[in-house]
């Protein structure tokens, strides 16, 4: 009964509700937009490896004898030629004295034989001495001369052995502890006295997988980097407790064959180590240039959307309209993602607020910002 009387009120209420809904209908969603970063870039490949000494020596004696004294501190840095050990010199000094006496004796006989030969040579011309007598004097003279040469060689050997009683550092570097104490018998070429490793410079060895090595070969063939011989280009190394690659080195060697068992190629970098920070055996990571210098397009990972196996970004026009651009991603560099294909760097893309975009939405309200520069 009351329905027709209240119908105008109901229609009025519905109209007001519709007007309010229209008034509150949201406009294009706000999003943050920016242009990609474009910069000259070299991509870096990362490998693991270990430090090794440029030179390493097992210090042994070259003569037999009892160890007389030690002249270094365990673990110290030594220079090339520094005195390390001394073997009892007295027996070898006696051999030098004996060899010197023998040389003096045969030298005297040689001088006498020379005088006799010269006298016989004069007398044979006057017919006083026969030719056979002259031949005997010549034979004695030449024999004495050979004896002198032999005695001189024996003296040189004795002096050399005496010099070998002083064992000196063959290279500069850091020495280990002494492995034998004074008073023990040292056997030539057998008894290990200590070890010595070079400190500055130092090597860093690492293995490169076959795919990366082939890529480097192609870069070398195209002239984009040094040859596969490994010489010349810079690399950067980080220790196991470091995040940044702050230690600069130079590639100086790549092996001449691929390891068939592991499918890797051994490479080597050389670093200055004047402070002695790098110790043989330490683990580290190395960055090797994996591309020539080129203009790279960089965007934040937050700007990248995913649709099954596709990756895309939203490009915003001046009027706020949207379009999708499919992109091919590269590695991360300087805190951004490299875009290998799909962007030129001139576009304005959404970097924040992707979740506000409804499927099929045509426009957005752009809020322009500038991306922080890449490091």
Question: 152 with 94, same domain?
Answer: yes
Structural domains in the chain (count): 4
Question: 82 with 186, same domain?
Answer: yes
With CA atoms as reference, report the closest residue to 229 among 213, 212, 249, 243.
213
Question: 207 with 280, same domain?
Answer: yes
Question: 156 with 111, same domain?
Answer: yes
Question: 191 with 264, same domain?
Answer: no
**Distances 234 to 52, 146, 339 between C-alpha atoms, Å:** 18, 61, 25
Question: 184 with 245, same domain?
Answer: no
- Contact partners, residue 57, CB within 8 Å, separation at least 6: 170, 171, 195, 196, 197
CA 160 to chain centre: 39
Question: 69 with 105, same domain?
Answer: no
- Separation CA 31–CA 354 (nearest Å): 7
For residue 19, being part of any structural domain is answered with: no
Q: What is the pLDDT of residue 133?
A: 74
When mean pLDDT is compared across 112-126, 166-180, 252-266, 267-281, the lowest value belongs to 112-126
pLDDT cut 90: percent of the chain above it? 34
- Separation CA 209–CA 258 (nearest Å): 9
CA 226 to chain centre: 16
Q: What is the CATH number of the domain that holds 120?
A: 1.10.287.470
Tell me what the mean pLDDT of segment 146-152 comes to.
Answer: 90
Report yes or no: 26 and 364 within 8 Å, Cβ to Cβ.
Answer: no
Confidence of residue 353 (pLDDT cuts 50, 70, 90): confident
Alpha helices in 223-265 (DSSP H): none
Report strand pairing: 77-78 vs 264-271. unpaired
Q: What is the CATH number of the domain that holds 313?
A: 2.40.420.20
Question: 213 with 280, same domain?
Answer: yes
Report yes or no: 285 and 235 within 8 Å, Cβ to Cβ.
Answer: no
**Distances 129 to 126, 134, 141, 323 between C-alpha atoms, Å:** 8, 7, 17, 124
Q: Within a 10 A sphere around the Cβ of 241, how many other Cβ atoms? A: 6
Per the rule left: phi > 0, alpha: psi between -120 and 50, beta: everything else, 67 is: beta
Question: 147 with 170, same domain?
Answer: no
Confidence of residue 360 (pLDDT cuts 50, 70, 90): low
Q: What is the CATH number of the domain that holds 251?
A: 2.40.30.170
Q: What is the pLDDT of residue 22?
A: 43
Tell me what the mean pLDDT of segment 103-126 comes to.
Answer: 81
Q: What is the pLDDT of residue 152?
A: 92
- Each residue's pLDDT tens digit, 182-194: 999 999 999 999 9
Map residue 285 onto helix, strand or coil.
Answer: strand
Map residue 32 onto helix, strand or coil.
Answer: strand
Q: Find the domain containing 105 and state its range.
A: 90-164
Cis peptide, bond prior to residue 201, ω within 30 of zero = yes
- Separation CA 284–CA 205 (nearest Å): 10
pLDDT cut 70: percent of the chain above it? 88
With CA atoms as reference, report the closest residue to 68 among 1, 142, 162.
162
Tokens 């506000």 -> residue: 356
Tell me what the mean pLDDT of segment 14-20 comes to.
Answer: 55
Tell me what the mean pLDDT of segment 301-308 comes to.
Answer: 85
Question: 340 with 360, same domain?
Answer: yes
Confidence of residue 20 (pLDDT cuts 50, 70, 90): very low
Tell me what the mean pLDDT of segment 242-269 comes to.
Answer: 89
For residue 159, being part of any structural domain is answered with: yes
**Domain stop point among 143, 164, 185:** 164
How many Å is the Cα radius of gyration of the chain?
A: 43
Tell me what the mean pLDDT of segment 15-23 comes to.
Answer: 51
**Distances 52 to 21, 49, 199, 262, 328 between C-alpha atoms, Å:** 75, 10, 9, 21, 40
Q: What is the pLDDT of residue 72?
A: 92
- Separation CA 181–CA 70 (nearest Å): 8
Tell me what the mean pLDDT of segment 6-32 comes to.
Answer: 60
Report yes or no: 61 and 188 within 8 Å, Cβ to Cβ.
Answer: yes
**Domain stop point among 115, 146, 164:** 164
Question: 186 with 68, same domain?
Answer: yes
For residue 96, being part of any structural domain is answered with: yes
Q: What is the pLDDT of residue 92?
A: 94
Question: 171 with 117, same domain?
Answer: no
């Amino acid at each position: 009964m009351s329905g027709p009387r209240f119908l105008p009120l109901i229609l009025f209420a519905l109209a007001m509700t519709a007007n309010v809904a229209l008034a509150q209908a949201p406009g294009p969603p706000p999003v943050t937009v920016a242009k990609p970063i474009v910069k000259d870039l070299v991509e870096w490949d990362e490998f693991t490896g270990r430090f090794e000494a440029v030179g390493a020596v097992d210090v042994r004696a070259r003569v037999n004898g009892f160890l007389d004294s030690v002249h270094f501190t365990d673990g110290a840095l030594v220079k090339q030629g520094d005195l390390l050990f001394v073997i009892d010199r007295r027996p070898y000094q006696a051999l030098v004295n004996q060899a010197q006496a023998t040389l003096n004796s045969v030298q005297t006989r040689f001088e006498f034989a020379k005088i006799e030969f010269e006298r016989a040579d004069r007398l044979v011309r006057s017919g006083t001495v026969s030719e056979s007598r002259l031949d005997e004097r010549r034979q004695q003279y030449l024999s004495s001369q050979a004896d002198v040469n032999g005695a001189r060689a024996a003296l040189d050997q004795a002096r050399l052995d005496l010099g070998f009683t002083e064992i000196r550092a063959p290279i500069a570097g850091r020495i280990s502890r002494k492995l034998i104490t004074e008073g023990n018998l040292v056997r030539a070429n057998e008894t290990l006295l200590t070890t010595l490793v070079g400190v500055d410079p130092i090597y860093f060895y690492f293995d490169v997988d076959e795919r990366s090595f082939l890529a480097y070969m192609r870069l070398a063939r195209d002239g984009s980097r040094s040859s596969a011989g490994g010489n010349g280009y810079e690399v950067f190394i980080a220790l196991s407790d470091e995040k940044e690659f702050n230690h600069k080195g130079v590639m100086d060697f790549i092996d001449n064959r691929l390891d068939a068992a592991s499918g890797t190629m051994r490479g080597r970098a050389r670093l200055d180590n004047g402070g002695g920070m790098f110790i043989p055996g330490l683990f580290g990571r190395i960055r090797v240039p994996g591309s020539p210098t080129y203009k790279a397009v960089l965007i934040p990972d937050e700007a990248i959307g995913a649709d099954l196996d596709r990756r895309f970004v939203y490009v915003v026009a001046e009027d706020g309209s949207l379009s999708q651009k499919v992109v091919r991603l590269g590695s991360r560099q300087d805190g951004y993602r490299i875009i290998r294909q799909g962007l030129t760097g001139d576009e304005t893309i959404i970097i924040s607020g992707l979740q506000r975009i409804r499927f099929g939405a045509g426009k957005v309200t752009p809020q322009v910002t500038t991306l922080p520069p890449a490091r």
